């Protein structure tokens, strides 16, 4: 609930009515002051002119007409002031009525948008927002509708990920449970080979838990960095070499070319995780016989790491979305490999940005591979 005090003067409807009234009063008072100030002079001028015109036929006759007109001066000015007073009163009443009507017309679509946003906030992302005819309010309604669509898409990905995470957890747990029970019952010997299966599935669960934990910390801004000067080329090469067994098993050529002497202050573990996530993503996207190339170089005040593959490539609409949490490229086949959790690139983006760097993606289109580019300030 909002803690802002909603006094009468804080209401937009009251402010709109008051603005109309103030404009009306200012206009009426300005008119009244000008009339009161100018009317006597104009009256006297008219009286003088009339006297001069009549004076052309005789001095006495002219003075008589002029003095007669001057005698009406107090009554005319009094009537004029009374008319102005009533005009001000009627004008203020009219300003209030018009202000109320204008406020209702303006606030009606605002109230409709407010009700719709409350429904969106409660989880009803399919709410249809009325689009006011006023340009600014129409743009506001469009922005709220766009926000609702994005929230709906995020919620759908979250629900889908929860199901996928549950499925991925169920598979290794089933294997572990089956292996352990078989060894307890004596069906399988407690050999190194059988225990290795249990260990592999346990590591798979551990990686999944780590990914979710890292994403949570990154999204909440709780990423702590231990900045130390390192040779970025050596750091990248070490991270790539740890993944070489996976590329060898998948029949993918892995090439790493790192320039020497690229000194930079970074959190070595975080940047190694970034490289690992990018290369792991490339492995999942590249078929057997493909190639993954990793380069590290320095350009001016920036260190640049590129991870390129000859895999499935990305459509133009996916170039930005691949960094969204829970997003997976539609139609991507894992060909029996362990699927990603859909959060590796999101974690990489958060880690790079925590170093005041940037990460982008380029692709010539579907089937033409992709290149992820990390830029870090030196």
Q: Map out the domains of the chain as residue ranges.
A: 8-54+63-122, 154-219, 228-330+338-377
Question: For position 65, what pLDDT does the model report?
Answer: 46
d(CA 348, CA 145): 30
Bridge partners (DSSP) of residue 361 are 372
Secondary structure letter of residue 321 according to DSSP: G
Topology classification of domain 154-219: Helix Hairpins (1.10.287)
Closest to 330 measured CA to CA, from 152, 160, 150: 160
Bridge partners (DSSP) of residue 370 are 309
Question: For position 60, what pLDDT does the model report?
Answer: 44
Which helix H or strand E contains 373, and what residues bound it?
strand 370-377
N- to C-terminal Cα separation, the chain:
46
Task: Note the helical H segments in the chain.
Answer: 12-55, 59-71, 73-121, 135-184, 192-219, 232-241, 244-250, 268-285, 344-354
Dihedral of CA atoms 99, 102, 107, 108 in degrees, nearest 10, equals 130
Q: Among all chains, which residue has been given the structure tokens 């605002």?
A: 110
The class (CATH top level) of 228-330+338-377 is alpha beta
Strand duo 253-258 + 291-299: pairing: parallel
d(CA 100, CA 287): 69
Provide φ and ψ at 117, rounded to 5°: -65, -35
Weakly modelled stretches of the chain, pLDDT under 70 = 1-17, 20, 34, 37-39, 41-44, 46-73, 161, 164, 167-168, 219-222, 325-328, 330-342
Q: Among all chains, which residue has been given the structure tokens 């573990």?
A: 269
The pair of three-digit structure tokens given for residue 256, joined into one six-digit string: 């790493």
Q: Going by C-beta distance under 8 Å and a sequence separation of 6 or more, which residues neighbour residue 251?
A: 288, 289
Find out whether 157 and 149 touch, Cβ atoms under 8 Å.
Answer: no
Q: Going by C-beta distance under 8 Å and a sequence separation of 6 or more, which residues neighbour residue 64?
A: 54
CA distances from 5 to 11, 107, 118, 163, 304 (A): 10, 20, 20, 43, 52
d(CA 262, CA 243): 22
Question: For position 88, what pLDDT does the model report?
Answer: 74
Question: For position 70, what pLDDT does the model report?
Answer: 61
Question: For position 7, what pLDDT does the model report?
Answer: 58
Question: For position 74, what pLDDT does the model report?
Answer: 76
If you count them, how many residues does the chain have? Answer: 378
The pair of three-digit structure tokens given for residue 168, joined into one six-digit string: 């991925």
Neighbours of 237 (CB within 10 A): 17
- For residue 360, give the 3-state DSSP assignment: strand
């Amino acid at each position: 609930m909002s803690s802002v005090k909603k006094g009468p003067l804080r209401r937009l409807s009251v402010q709109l009515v008051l603005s109309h009234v103030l404009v009306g009063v200012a206009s009426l008072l300005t008119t009244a002051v000008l009339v009161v100030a100018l009317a006597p002079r104009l009256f006297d001028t008219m009286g003088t002119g009339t006297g001069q015109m009549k004076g052309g036929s005789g001095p006495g006759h002219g003075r008589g007409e002029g003095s007669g007109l001057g005698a009406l001066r107090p009554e005319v000015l009094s009537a004029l002031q009374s008319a102005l007073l009533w005009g001000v009163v009627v004008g203020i009443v009219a300003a209030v009525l018009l202000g109320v009507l204008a406020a209702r017309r303006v606030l009606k679509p605002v109230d409709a948008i407010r009700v719709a946003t409350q429904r969106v906030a409660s989880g009803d992302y399919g709410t249809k927002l009325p689009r006011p005819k006023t340009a600014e309010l129409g743009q506001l309604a469009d922005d709220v509708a766009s926000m609702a669509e994005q929230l709906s898409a995020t919620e759908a990905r979250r629900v889908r990920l929860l199901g996928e995470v549950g499925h991925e957890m169920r598979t290794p747990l089933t294997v572990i449970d089956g292996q352990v029970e078989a060894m307890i019952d004596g069906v399988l010997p407690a050999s190194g080979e059988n225990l290795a299966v249990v260990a592999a599935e346990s590591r798979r669960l551990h990686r999944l838990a780590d990914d979710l934990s890292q994403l949570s910390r990154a999204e909440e801004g709780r990423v702590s960095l231990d900045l130390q000067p390192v040779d970025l080329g050596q750091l990248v090469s070490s991270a790539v070499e740890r993944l070489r067994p996976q590329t060898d098993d998948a029949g993918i050529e892995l090439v790493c070319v790192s320039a020497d002497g690229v000194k930079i202050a970074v959190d070595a573990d975080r940047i190694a995780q970034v490289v690992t996530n990018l290369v792991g993503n490339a492995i999942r996207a590249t078929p057997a016989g493909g190639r993954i190339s990793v380069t590290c170089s320095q350009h001016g005040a920036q260190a640049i790491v590129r991870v390129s593959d000859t895999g499935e490539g990305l459509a133009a609409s996916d170039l930005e979305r691949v960094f969204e949490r829970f997003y997976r490229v539609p139609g991507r086949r894992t060909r029996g490999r362990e699927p990603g959790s859909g959060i590796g690139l999101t974690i990489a983006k958060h880690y790079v940005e925590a170093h005041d760097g940037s990460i982008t993606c380029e692709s010539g289109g579907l089937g033409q591979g992709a290149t992820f580019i990390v830029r870090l300030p030196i």
